[in-house]
Structure 1
Amino acid sequence: MQITIKVLKGQDFTLDVEPTTLISEMKEEIEKKLSIPLAEQKLLLLGRTLSDEKAVSAYPNLHEGSKLNLVVMRPRIEGLREVIQRSFRKYYSDQQADKLVTAFMSDFEMNLKQMSLDDIDRLSESLESS
């Protein structure tokens, strides 16, 4: 059966799989086609993460023509928290900066959780075109 893989940046491609194909085997194919390391891949079906050790048949909603979202989790070189903290420390004491960073990150994470994958996709596309 054919399953479509959608990468957040709009790139789609299809994989031929069998009901016995493991999710980890699908990720290996993705690594070969897109050069995205296994450790950086997260496959989602209807917003839920697919487990590497399970087979396609373990997911009743995964069938011919299904569309999976591939989220690429790049390793952090420097995290958002560190960048913001460094900026705040230019203007505030260490203690004030720590409180501000904690409040900022809490608000940021809350807002991010409220976004759908489509919202994030549209945001990334708009930022690429500007």
Structure 2
Amino acid sequence: MHLTVKILNGEECTLAASPSSLVSDVKEQVQALMSIPVADQKLLFKGKALMDAKPLREYGVEDSCKITLVIKKSVLKSTEASLPTTSPQKIWHSQPESPVWEKMRVFLRRHFRESDIEAVLNAFREEFERNLSSLSLDDIERFAMTKLRVV
């Protein structure tokens, strides 16, 4: 059977596999075709992460199916490492304060000393940014769908 493996950025490849092929075998083919290390690949089919040791048939993968490839952070971080960086505090203080962070500062004033507010706010921002950057497209889509159903 032929499968299409698609990266979220739009790049894709087609490969051959059998229903008894292990997910790890598919990852090895992707590595050969797209030069993405097996350790940095996460394969998804119908929104479900595929386990390396399981055969494709256990997930219902058939001929002409499309599998989504998510590249894990270690590959992306090496790309980002080559870019010039600025500390988060410098970025936040060089840009105008957003209404969200102003409201957060007002809230923190009720619970912390004035001398501690900036430290708590900066720690919260760093955690927020870290969590936001770790969201996958599937996470964002699920979140959006729950909000769309409410309307």
The reply to whether TM is greater than 0.5 is yes
Q: Distance in 2 between matches of 1:95 and 1:21?
A: 56
Deviation (angstroms), 1:49: 0.8
Amino acid at match of 1:64: D
Q: How many residues end up aligned between the 2 structures?
A: 111
User: Are the aligned partners of 1:89 and 1:97 in contact in 2 as well (CA < 8 Å)?
Assistant: no
- 1:84 alignment counterpart: 88
Kindly indicate which of the two structures has a greater share of residues assigned to helix.
2
- What do residues 19-72 of structure 1 show as CA deviations (whole Å, max 9, x unaligned)? 110000100000001110011101011111100000111112x11111111011
* 3-state secondary structure, aligned to 1:53: coil
Larger Rg: 2
Q: Distance in 2 between matches of 1:36 and 1:59?
A: 23
Amino acid at match of 2:120: K
User: Are the aligned partners of 1:31 and 1:38 in contact in 2 as well (CA < 8 Å)?
Assistant: yes
- What do residues 85-122 of structure 1 show as CA deviations (whole Å, max 9, x unaligned)? 575699xxx954552244335545369465129x9xxx
User: Are the aligned partners of 1:85 and 1:97 in contact in 2 as well (CA < 8 Å)?
Assistant: no
- 1:29 alignment counterpart: 29
Percent of aligned positions with the same letter in both sequences?
28
* 3-state secondary structure, aligned to 1:28: helix
Q: Distance in 1 between matches of 2:40 and 2:59?
A: 22
- 1:115 alignment counterpart: 140
**Distance 1:83-1:42 versus aligned 2 partners, 3 A rule:** farther
Q: Distance in 1 between matches of 2:9 and 2:89?
A: 29
1:1-130 counterparts in 2 under 5 A?
Answer: 1-60=1-60, 62-75=61-74, 76=77, 83-84=87-88, 87=91, 96=117, 98-105=119-126, 107-108=128-129, 109=131, 112=135, 114-116=139-141
**Distance 1:87-1:13 versus aligned 2 partners, 3 A rule:** same
Q: CA RMSD in A?
A: 3.3
Amino acid at match of 2:140: M
Q: Distance in 2 between matches of 1:102 and 1:72?
A: 27
- 1:122 alignment counterpart: none
- 1:124 alignment counterpart: none
Q: Distance in 2 between matches of 1:83 and 1:52?
A: 38
In structure 2, list runs of 5 or more residues that go unmatched: 95-114, 145-151
Q: TM-score, normalised by structure 1?
A: 0.67
In structure 1, list runs of 5 or more residues that go unmatched: 120-130
